[in-house]
Amino acid sequence: MVVSEAVICHVLKRSYAGNEIIKRLMQRSGGIGVTAKMLEAVHSHYDLKYLLEHKPVCRITPEILKSQKQLKCMKLLLDIDPETPVTKEVVFRALEIGNDFDRRYRKHEQEGKDVLETLFDRSPDIAVTEEMVQAARCAADMEILLKHLEPGTRISTDVVAAISKLGLGEAYLTMRPLLKFDPSIRLDPKMALQMIGYGNGINVLEMLLEHDPSMPVTEEMFLQIFGQTLRESDGKELADVMHKYGTSLVFTDKVREVIDHAYQNKSEAAIKKRFYSLRMTDEDGIEPVGESMDEKTPEKSVGRSQSDSGDNAYEIIDED
């Protein structure tokens, strides 16, 4: 009995068909070989590898490349047909596949980088667009795209905003090459706070201040990073980074409370003094003169939480 192309495609749409099933289906296909519809239907790169063992294989088209579900599949198809034309839609698909699946794991970044390099090598005339840069979801993708972006191109606020929302460590790693490419980029405090909130705040802050030393450090930014650093150290690193770039800080009541409560021991006086030396003004805009850092702690102060699992490193403590 001859197995139709439609039946083979139906099986290939499964997450994994397997070598034996594919082999039997192709043996009963009547010698039609591997068709475009089969290549568009295949779901797994394992199945694609098994499928390509059967000849003949149709020419690889941009439509077939755009239909792929994994970067490994796209790479296999590019390798078997060096003459395959590449369009900007194929580049977008490669970025989209990475966003959807492969970029969840750092080990897959190299695969995405290899695919993008191959696509641009195959069609060097493809122009990198703002939409492509905005679609990048890891540093490897961003580096390849910027390599092929015309020097001097201004990066829009929409692109910067999209990268700042990536989450986990990706926002920090992907933003770095973007800031190096366009020195004119300025992040507003909301974008900066969003990146800091994902963790690794001290490194994010140093990256942003290195790029733009005039960037203000808001109360929210300071409290987020201060809480993160206290979970791992004495917090001095934050003061050091701010001193390094000449960054001052408006001392709101909240800022004063967390610093005073974190450094109550005499052995911590030097760290407390280093933070106080960052003071630009108090919340009312007036620079306090001659005020002692050993002032009385307010009735309600903010201290380190007993649990490091929450987003907020502090809790209100009533001191009776």
What's the pTM value of the predicted model, to 2 decimals?
0.78
Domain that holds residue 246: 190-320
What phi-psi label fits residue 244: left (phi over 0), alpha (psi between -120 and 50 degrees) or beta? alpha
Same-domain check for residues 301 and 317: yes
Structurally, the chain folds into a number of domains equal to 3
State the pLDDT at residue 155: 96
State the pLDDT at residue 300: 35
Same-domain check for residues 312 and 213: yes
Q: For each of the chain's 320 residues, which pLDDT tens digit applies?
A: 899 999 999 999 987 889 999 999 999 999 999 999 999 999 999 999 999 999 999 999 999 999 999 999 999 999 999 889 999 999 999 998 866 444 445 556 677 888 999 999 999 999 999 999 999 988 999 999 999 999 999 999 999 999 999 877 789 999 999 999 999 999 988 999 999 998 889 999 999 999 999 999 999 999 999 999 998 888 999 999 999 999 999 999 999 999 999 999 999 999 999 999 999 755 555 554 434 444 443 333 333 333 333 443 333 333 33
Same-domain check for residues 267 and 309: yes
Amino acid, res. 34: V
State the pLDDT at residue 113: 85
For residue 189, is the peptide bond before it cis, meaning its omega torsion is within 30 degrees of 0? Answer: no
Give the separation between CA 126 and CA 120, rounded to whole angstroms: 7
State the pLDDT at residue 312: 39
Residue whose structure tokens are 């770095």 = 176
State the pLDDT at residue 169: 78
Which domain-ending residue is among 161, 185, 209?
185
Same-domain check for residues 209 and 296: yes
Same-domain check for residues 44 and 110: no
In Å, what is the CA distance from 113 to each residue of 13, 101, 168? 26, 14, 20
